[in-house]
């Protein structure tokens, strides 16, 4: 798995003349997107966590791009005018930790190339294509064992042609170190040496192979003629190839599992691996840290993961976090609060329930009175009641529970990753969520983010549970980097990708996207004349519960089937006494899709005479 990429982007792009006088070549747009930005998106989709861009000419363009994509780190080659790609690579080298993708900045390419390199066993690998007729070909020659032995523009000199250099490679750190060492030794004679020539020299010490894709759609763009050829011939081919791999779009408006990106779906397609291998342990460790970082500081919190749904995480938390003789207070203002109480009772935990309206805010005074009256050790509440879309004010509730000495357990299943959350600031000790809601992974991993000091208290407690024991799962993982029982292997790869995408979008921007979708939907409801269960000001913006219209022709199933035929899945309400359907803003939903859904909803309502 390749986690880093280096893009060499220091060059002047002088063959473009005026166009690149005050702009780097990588920023030339094709179909409205700068070449380099398109490349960045493809790298992120391929699972790259960090992109190091070696800059020079007009470096400020790249610094701006880095503000848009948190995964980008720019490193300036101050001597770009007197060096070449190798000089830019040299300044990037100190930031490379492991095997990485190395790319030129002026490339337009089919993303399949990244997959092919990553999926190949060989460690140092240059991507090549068949004949391009581009007029600027760089030919790669290999020896009888397939190792690179010559890089040249002179085709006549090549005996064993391996292909044409694309400008995308997969390289180990040790190979890079050798390249840099070679450059240091020879700089005085040739500071302007190209990186591909250095490849060839270092290949004598550590083999580098060539992977050829005969009909690969790609081009570099060095001048106006190449740009024209790219726009007319190559870009349409790339677009078509990539669209053939698009997965049919279904927009899930149910409150999780949520719509996922294709890159998350594809992240599951990996070589088989035994989860007891260290490589997989490292992946789970990174995922666990990434999950913590979404809502807490890793100095004080750790995330413990189980193969289960969100309810499993709730069960792990409730059955593990109440001390042996402890007493629990649970807020029930919807199905999920009710579920927390049910779990506690099944485990014979001494539990009181504070019942509250499913659609009105909690009466905080009454709750405080209840907290004062009994000696509770532990308090449990749901942050976002998915039943109705009611967001409970944890910023007030949890500090109150703390005031009375309680440990705070929160189900943040359907809030986590969708809005900025800081567990420590909210006074939350334990929080549950799952891989398939706002974070945007596949269903199958439930997790508890734990305040470390509170988790450690459980060390001496007798076990009330087995599979779901939080402390045991934590300490076994810490010791072995393994879960005690078989983890959902491929789901972890998808979750890793979902975390990368969450970090790049940022939780703040994600919340803005959901808010926009919500506003579009609420405006649509008003236009159609449908009513909501919860007042706008108390809504989370993640779920809107809509009251059934009073119309004999309305049926939930009718609406469901109609919406489904347009690629939208809707979900019924969960309240026993009030009929609602729920529309969620979760996962990879886009405002234009919500706009389309509003039209579908209006057309259905119109067809039964509601509007």
Site residues for ligand PLP per CB under 6 A? 255-256, 309-311, 314, 336, 382, 386, 411, 413-414, 434
For ligand PLP, the closer of residues 104 and 385 by Cβ is 385
Q: Which letter does DSSP use for residue 14 in this model? A: G
Least Cα distance to 239 among 505, 33, 25, 500 occurs for 33
Identify whether the C-beta of residue 422 lies closer than 8 Å to the C-beta of residue 410: no
Residue 593 near Mg ion by CB under 5 A: no
- The residues pairing with 165 across neighbouring beta strands, listed in sequence order, are 128
Contact segment (CB under 5 A) with Mg ion among 147-155, 218-226, 379-387, 515-523 equals: 218-226
The partner in contact with residue 309, picked from ligand PLP, Mg ion, none with C-beta cut-offs of 5 to 8 angstroms by kind, is ligand PLP
Written as six digits, the tokens of 86 are 């190798």
Residue 106 near Mg ion by CB under 5 A: yes
Identify whether the C-beta of residue 6 lies closer than 8 Å to the C-beta of residue 214: no
> Is residue 152 exposed (0-12), middle (13-18) or buried (19+ Cβ within 10 Å)?
middle
Q: How far is the CB of 434 from ligand PLP (least distance, A)?
A: 5
Measure the CA–CA gap between 549 and 554, rounded to whole angstroms: 7
Measure the CA–CA gap between 388 and 391, rounded to whole angstroms: 9
- The residues pairing with 29 across neighbouring beta strands, listed in sequence order, are 34
Residue 429 near Mg ion by CB under 5 A: no
* Angle, vertex CA 533, rays to CA 340 and CA 609, nearest 5: 135
Residue 196 near Mg ion by CB under 5 A: no
Q: How far is the CB of 498 from ligand PLP (least distance, A)?
A: 15
Q: How far is the CB of 551 from ligand PLP (least distance, A)?
A: 28
The partner in contact with residue 196, picked from ligand PLP, Mg ion, none with C-beta cut-offs of 5 to 8 angstroms by kind, is none
Residue 194 near Mg ion by CB under 5 A: no
Written as six digits, the tokens of 371 are 């907290």
Written as six digits, the tokens of 269 are 């397609």
Contact segment (CB under 5 A) with Mg ion among 86-94, 222-230, 231-239, 452-460 equals: 222-230
The residue behind tokens 């294709």 is: 262
Residue 136 near Mg ion by CB under 5 A: yes
Measure the CA–CA gap between 589 and 606, rounded to whole angstroms: 25
Identify whether the C-beta of residue 165 lies closer than 8 Å to the C-beta of residue 139: yes
Residue 220 near Mg ion by CB under 5 A: yes
Contact segment (CB under 5 A) with Mg ion among 104-112, 122-130, 348-356, 419-427 equals: 104-112
Q: How far is the CB of 227 from Mg ion (least distance, A)?
A: 12
Q: How far is the CB of 222 from Mg ion (least distance, A)?
A: 5
For ligand PLP, the closer of residues 434 and 483 by Cβ is 434
For Mg ion, the closer of residues 56 and 275 by Cβ is 56
Measure the CA–CA gap between 274 and 486, rounded to whole angstroms: 10
For Mg ion, the closer of residues 223 and 411 by Cβ is 223
The partner in contact with residue 497, picked from ligand PLP, Mg ion, none with C-beta cut-offs of 5 to 8 angstroms by kind, is none
Identify whether the C-beta of residue 383 lies closer than 8 Å to the C-beta of residue 415: yes
Written as six digits, the tokens of 604 are 């259905």
The partner in contact with residue 411, picked from ligand PLP, Mg ion, none with C-beta cut-offs of 5 to 8 angstroms by kind, is ligand PLP
Least Cα distance to 79 among 191, 193, 194 occurs for 191
Does a cis peptide bond (omega within 30 degrees of 0) precede residue 537?
A: no
Measure the CA–CA gap between 379 and 463, rounded to whole angstroms: 20
For ligand PLP, the closer of residues 77 and 414 by Cβ is 414
The partner in contact with residue 605, picked from ligand PLP, Mg ion, none with C-beta cut-offs of 5 to 8 angstroms by kind, is none
The partner in contact with residue 386, picked from ligand PLP, Mg ion, none with C-beta cut-offs of 5 to 8 angstroms by kind, is ligand PLP
The partner in contact with residue 106, picked from Mg ion, ligand PLP, none with C-beta cut-offs of 5 to 8 angstroms by kind, is Mg ion
Give the residue closest to ligand PLP by C-beta. Answer: 310
Interface positions with Mg ion (CB under 5 A):
106, 136, 220, 222
């Amino acid at each position: 798995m390749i986690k880093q990429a280096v893009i060499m982007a220091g060059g002047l792009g002088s063959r473009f003349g005026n166009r690149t006088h005050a702009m780097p070549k990588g920023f030339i747009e094709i179909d409205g997107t700068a070449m380099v930005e398109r490349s960045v998106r493809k790298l992120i989709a391929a699972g790259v966590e960090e992109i190091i861009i070696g800059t020079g000419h007009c470096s400020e363009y790249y610094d701006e791009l880095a503000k848009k994509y948190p995964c980008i780190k720019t490193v300036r080659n101050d001597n770009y005018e007197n060096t070449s790609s190798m000089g830019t690579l040299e300044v990037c080298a100190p930031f490379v930790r492991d095997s990485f993708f190395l790319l030129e900045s002026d490339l337009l390419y089919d993303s399949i190339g990244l997959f092919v390199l990553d999926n190949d066993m060989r460690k140092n690998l240059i991507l090549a294509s068949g004949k391009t007729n581009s007029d600027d070909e760089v030919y790669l020659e290999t020896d009888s064992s397939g190792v690179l032995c010559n890089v040249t523009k002179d085709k006549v000199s090549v005996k064993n042609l391996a292909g044409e250099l694309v400008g995308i490679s997969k390289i180990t750190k040790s190979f890079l170190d050798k390249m840099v060492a070679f450059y240091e030794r020879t700089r005085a004679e040739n500071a302007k040496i190209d990186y591909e020539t250095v490849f060839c020299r270092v290949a004598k010490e550590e083999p580098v192979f060539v992977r050829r894709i005969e009909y690969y759609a790609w081009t570099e763009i060095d001048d106006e003629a190449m740009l024209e050829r790219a726009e007319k011939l190559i870009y349409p081919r790339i677009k078509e190839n990539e669209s053939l791999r698009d997965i049919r779009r279904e927009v899930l408006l149910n409150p999780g599992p949520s719509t996922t990106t294709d890159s998350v779906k594809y992240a599951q397609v990996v070589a088989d691996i035994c989860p007891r291998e260290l490589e997989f342990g490292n992946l789970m460790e990174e995922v666990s840290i990434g999950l913590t970082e979404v809502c807490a500081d890793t100095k004080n919190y750790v995330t413990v993961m189980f193969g289960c749904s969100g309810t499993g995480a709730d069960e792990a938390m409730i059955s593990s976090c109440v001390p042996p003789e402890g007493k629990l207070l649970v807020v029930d203002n919807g199905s999920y609060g009710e579920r927390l109480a049910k779990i506690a009772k099944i485990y014979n935990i001494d539990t009181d329930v504070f019942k509250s309206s499913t659609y009105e805010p909690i009466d905080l005074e009454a709750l405080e009175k209840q907290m004062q009256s009994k000696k509770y050790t532990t308090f449990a509440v749901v942050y976002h009641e998915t039943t109705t879309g009611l967001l409970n004010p944890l910023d007030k509730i949890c500090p109150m529970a703390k005031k009375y000495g309680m440990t705070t357990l929160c189900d943040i299943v359907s809030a986590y990753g969708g809005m900025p959350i800081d567990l420590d600031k909210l006074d939350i000790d334990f929080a549950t969520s799952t891989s398939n809601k706002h974070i945007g992974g596949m269903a199958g991993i439930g997790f508890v983010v734990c305040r470390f000091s509170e988790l450690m208290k459980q060390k001496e407690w007798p076990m009330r549970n087995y599979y779901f024991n939080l402390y045991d799962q934590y300490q076994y993982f810490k010791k072995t980097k393994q879960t005690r029982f078989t983890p959902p292997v491929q789901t972890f790869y998808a979750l890793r990708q979902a975390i990368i995408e969450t970090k790049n979008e940022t939780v703040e921007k994600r919340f803005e996207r959901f808010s926009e979708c919500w506003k579009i939907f609420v405006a649509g409801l008003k236009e159609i004349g449908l009513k909501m269960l919860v007042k706008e000001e108390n809504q989370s913006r993640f779920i809107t519960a809509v009251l059934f219209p009073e119309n004999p022709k309305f049926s939930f199933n009718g609406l469901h089937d109609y919406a489904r035929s347009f690629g939208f899945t809707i979900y019924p309400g969960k309240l026993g006494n009030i009929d609602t359907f729920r529309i969620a803003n979760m996962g990879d939903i886009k405002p234009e899709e919500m706009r389309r859904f509003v039209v579908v909803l209006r057309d259905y309502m119109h067809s039964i005479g509601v509007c």
